[in-house]
Amino acid sequence: MAKIEFRNVVKRFGAVEVIPDMNLVIEDGEFVALLGPSGCGKSTSLFMLAGIYRPSGGELLFDGHVVNEVEARDRNVGIVFQSYALYPHMSVRDNILFPLRFKKTPRDEALARVKAAADLVRVEELLDRRPSELSGGQQQRVALARALVKEPKLLLLDEPLSNLDASLRLSMRTEIKSLHAQLGVTTVLVTHDQIEATTMADRIICMRAGRIEQVGTPDDLYLKPSSLFVASFIGSPP
């Protein structure tokens, strides 16, 4: 598991500064949500944690070590993308196996890990299928298994429930929470849905236009919003 720190992190795309100066500590084993409207820089922040984007300035630390230059595959991070991004030409088994390709894991051990990850999210019956033969919810589970197969110390979820219908979204919320409780893995959920953030996360990082507006528990944000923006974005308690 890992403690995460953004220290004066900047991200620019060309001349456009998307993240001007991000400072944040996420404790080991925490479940946090990056919450904010579309385009505020949630995915950009998550992709820097994943090693997909490199910060333009500042330092990103895992357990006190700067990881700015550490490649994605060496970070031991699992990620679920909004679109799941499963490989259509591969079986479910090979999709889940994929993150282990750079590790010199013996085949038997790799397959045992695939089985363990598939069991965790209950897709063990689907290993021989192709993604196109799965429902949206099943594809989501496979994406989760693929994210978990390396036993990551950090789990990153980018709007993982946005493509599911309402009832499935509700049950997956509970399921992801119980996975977190079971594994204790530090988890960062990106969402624009305040209900999702308040029901799932220990702490919410509310973002607006690349900046952090407020960090706190769901109760903090409901009861003591630091700005009109947070108050209107969070809404009233359910």
Stretch that binds ligand ADP, among 34-42, 55-63, 140-148, 214-222 (CB under 6 A): 34-42
Binding status of residue 45 toward Mg ion by CB under 5 A: no
8 Å CB contact between 180 and 187: yes
Window 184 to 223, contacts with ligand ADP (CB under 6 A)? none
Smallest distance, Mg ion to C-beta of residue 80, A: 13
Binding status of residue 15 toward ligand ADP by CB under 6 A: no
Considering only residues 39, 136, 184, 235, which one is a binding residue for ligand ADP as defined by CB under 6 A?
A: 39
Binding status of residue 13 toward ligand ADP by CB under 6 A: yes
Binding status of residue 43 toward Mg ion by CB under 5 A: yes
Sheet-wide strand order for 16-26: 16-26, 4-13, 57-62, 65-66
Report d(CA 26, CA 3) in Å as an integer: 6
8 Å CB contact between 146 and 98: yes
Strand pairing report for 154-158 and 77-80: parallel
Strand pairing report for 16-26 and 186-191: unpaired
Contact of residue 13 among Mg ion, ligand ADP, none (CB under 5-8 Å per partner type): ligand ADP
Report d(CA 180, CA 174) in Å as an integer: 10
Stretch that binds Mg ion, among 24-32, 40-48, 181-189, 217-225 (CB under 5 A): 40-48
Taking residues 83 to 122 in sequence order and writing x for each that binds Mg ion by CB under 5 A, - otherwise, the string is: ----------------------------------------
Residues with Cβ within 8 Å of residue 219, at least 6 apart in sequence: none
**Site residues (CB under 6 A) for ligand ADP?**
13, 18, 36, 38-44
